[in-house]
Amino acid sequence: MPTVMLTGPSGFLGSHLLYRLLREPEVRVHAVARTGTGRTHERLTWHRGDLLEPGLASRLMAEIRPTHLLHNAWFAVPGRFWSDPSNLAWLRASVDLMAAFAAASGQRFVGVGTCAEYDWTGTEPYAEDRTPIRPATLYGKAKAACWAAAQVFEAAGSFQAAWGRIFLPYGPGDTTGRLLPSLMCELRAGRPMSLGDGSLERDFIYAADAADLLVRMLMSQANGAFNVASGQATTLQVAIDHVADRLGRRDLLRFGERPTPVNEPSRLVADPTKVRETLGWTPQTSLLHGLDTVLQSSLQGHQ
């Protein structure tokens, strides 16, 4: 029976990962979190701990001896994660975690990367093995260095490794201050929403789909980097209009009130070919259906 260690199980994506892991039959899950508690399940054990604390990874690995490591923990405070110095601490902690995993005879590592590892100056769909890795941000650089280090462990014979570069996750439970949750909150409160021109094209991935792909990667033998994405480019306007229509508040949208960010790429979309051909995976949830589910789920949260 595979024994999986999941780091960062309490956040937005992490809670979807934990839910999906427990649906995998015959898998024992060890969740490592600073809080040390969460949902209960007969195959789930919680461990309290901060991975930035030196020595913790070694102690946990020696105790748990996981066969699989799904490494999702990172500094993730909205707005701050792009340039916070703790990205460096998370890189170093991740290398220590991988070393401890290798020392405990771990077999398979999957880490959560980011589309921000890619060179963002192109507008072609980003392909894992063709688009240059040229991160412009501290966050993107730290994630890219983490994957580079994982490949060294793999090449040295420590463990097999794969890496999921996640695009724009959204879904139930996202209260992170990102665009879509903020939009829903403002429109429901009857407040006008100040927006850019809506022309930016993005690749939204439903969080449960992202979790499904990452867990399939973990349970597969496919190595290398994979885009965790829908492969569909959607303008922000399409997503925003859909939410506003469902809430009957298109009148509150203020497109063009904000300047279009100059440092952001006009088009940020994944090439889904490698994931489809290597893993046979395609996302299950269309953006409009996914948005409807979020609207219903957050409505329940409001009641």
Q: How far is the CB of 80 from a second copy (least distance, A)?
A: 13
What distance in Å separates the CA atoms of residue 117 and residue 132, rounded to the nearest whole number? 9
What is the identity of the amino acid at 149? A
Q: Does 225 bind a second copy (CB under 8 A)?
A: no
What distance in Å separates the CA atoms of residue 211 and residue 14, rounded to the nearest whole number? 8
Q: Does 263 bind a second copy (CB under 8 A)?
A: no
- The window from 10-18, 131-139, 224-232, 290-298 that contacts a second copy (CB under 8 A) reads 131-139
CA torsion through residues 91, 96, 102, 107, sign: negative
What distance in Å separates the CA atoms of residue 144 and residue 158, rounded to the nearest whole number? 19
Structure-block tokens of residue 278: 């290597």
Q: How far is the CB of 122 from a second copy (least distance, A)?
A: 13
Q: Does 157 bind a second copy (CB under 8 A)?
A: yes
By CB under 8 A, the count of residues binding a second copy is: 27
Where does the chain have alpha helices with state H? 12-23, 56-64, 86-103, 138-155, 179-188, 207-219, 236-247, 273-279, 287-302
Q: Does 149 bind a second copy (CB under 8 A)?
A: yes
Q: Does 230 bind a second copy (CB under 8 A)?
A: no
- The window from 15-23, 133-141, 265-273, 285-293 that contacts a second copy (CB under 8 A) reads 133-141
The residues in 39-68 that bind a second copy, with binding defined as CB under 8 A, are none
What distance in Å separates the CA atoms of residue 170 and residue 207, rounded to the nearest whole number? 5
Q: Does 183 bind a second copy (CB under 8 A)?
A: no
Q: Does 153 bind a second copy (CB under 8 A)?
A: yes
Nearer to a second copy, 137 or 182 (CB): 137
